[in-house]
Amino acid sequence: MTRYRALLRRPIAALLLLTLGACHSTRPMDRIPGANDEARLRLSDMGAAMMAPVIGPGVTGLRGTIVAADSASVRMSVVAVVDREGLENRWLGEQVTVKREFITGYDQRDLNSFKTVLVVVGIGFGMYALAAVASGGTDGFLRAFTPTQGR
């Protein structure tokens, strides 16, 4: 069993780290973000239409880091654009300037502790079960789920 644990240790750690990115929730910011703040800009319908040649059609929001902001516009290093269905398409940090009149609000991402714990526990249990199956179930894990005659 220890050989299987050693083989699975790095893949388990990598999988757990990858899943943590999916355990976020978005909520409106209680302030206007400034330079170096991470935020999601919500675009108005007019803003989405006017910005379409730069960010693509059907985009309703931008996620990234504010590079500069003044009374007329916000410049952002964009890591993702959000479409009408709420799906994100990754970007590589390209800088985009958006006029403030095109922005309807700002959101921030927060780590959702409950979802994170559920995902980590679920993956941990799944990897434990996989290790038990790979080792032939010698630690009794599979015996609990294996039907026996006379039951």
Say whether pLDDT at 25 is over 70.
no
Across the range 63-90, mean pLDDT stands at 94
Check residue 148 and give its pLDDT: 60
**Beta partners for residue 98, in sequence order:** 74
Q: How confident is the model at residue 58 (pLDDT cuts 50, 70, 90)?
A: very high
Check residue 125 and give its pLDDT: 77
Q: To which H or E segment does residue 150 belong?
A: none
Confidence (pTM): 0.59
> Which of 22, 19, 25 shows the shortest CA–CA distance to 126?
19
Domain with CATH 2.30.30.100 in the chain: 26-110
Across the range 52-61, mean pLDDT stands at 95
59 CB neighbour count, 10 Å cutoff: 18
User: Where do runs of H (alpha helix) occur along 79-112?
Assistant: none
Q: Which CATH number, 2.30.30.100, 3.40.50.2300, 3.40.50.300, 2.60.120.330, labels domain 26-110? A: 2.30.30.100
Query: Token digits for 145?
Result: 């789920």
> Which of 40, 44, 29, 45 shows the shortest CA–CA distance to 76?
40
Check residue 127 and give its pLDDT: 73
